[in-house]
Amino acid sequence: MAEMDTSGGGGHKKGPGVKKAKKLSTRVDLTPMVDLGFLLITFFIFTTTMSQPTAMRLGLPKDTQKPEEQNKLKESAALTIMPSKQDKVYYYEGADPSKLQTSDVKKIREVILDKKRRTDPKDFMVIIKPTQDATYKNTVDMIDEMTIDEVKRYALVDITPAEYGFVQKTEVANGIK
């Protein structure tokens, strides 16, 4: 263990009457110090790697009025999901928002995968239309869900008043405030 030479330089002789000072051990127990050291190391290891934020890319479609520039979409291959209040997600297939169904953020994966299985992968597209009541987290979760479920075509689109109306009606019917 850590030792230090305490005999003093020079070897200075003491007289016969002088009592020898008791030699105290200079050994220090280093265990707590090592413990502390490793504790701090683990702390710094964790904080350095965790603080790296990542970035998720998203491209927006260009607003265009010309029909020839707009993407064509097969009605039967479309799935529209609308995150809203309290982590609820409303969805419908095709182009008829009146056939609204309710799910939530955690269960929507089943819905997407089910639709994906039933649809030609070439045409399959998910349209994400967050309502005014959705949170930023819900929106990012839905976009992330596209990566998790490997949906190649998806878009973030503004909700139409008609769709929002149906969502609100369903929310009132289910007692969600």
Binding site for other proteins (CB under 8 A): 1-2, 30-31, 33-34, 37-38, 40-41, 44-45, 47-48, 51-63, 83, 109, 113, 130-141, 143-144, 147-150, 156, 158
Select 95 or 140, whichever has its Cβ closest to other proteins: 140
In the complex, least distance from residue 37 CB atom to other proteins, rounded to whole angstroms = 3
Select 64 or 99, whichever has its Cβ closest to other proteins: 64
In the complex, least distance from residue 47 CB atom to other proteins, rounded to whole angstroms = 7
Instruction: Report yes or no: 100 and 92 within 8 Å, Cβ to Cβ.
Output: yes
Instruction: Report yes or no: 138 and 130 within 8 Å, Cβ to Cβ.
Output: yes
In the complex, least distance from residue 15 CB atom to other proteins, rounded to whole angstroms = 36
Contacts of 46 (CB under 8 A, 6+ apart): none
Q: Spell 52-71 as b/e; 16+ CB within 10 A means b.
A: eeeeeeeeeeeeeeeeeeee
Question: What kind and span of H or E run contains 176?
Answer: none
In the complex, least distance from residue 38 CB atom to other proteins, rounded to whole angstroms = 5
In the complex, least distance from residue 137 CB atom to other proteins, rounded to whole angstroms = 4
Select 13 or 117, whichever has its Cβ closest to other proteins: 117
Select 63 or 69, whichever has its Cβ closest to other proteins: 63
Select 38 or 94, whichever has its Cβ closest to other proteins: 38
Choose among 134, 22, 43, 123: nearest CA to 87: 134
Q: Position of tokens 């520039």? A: 69
- State residue 5 phi and psi, 5-degree precision: -80, 115
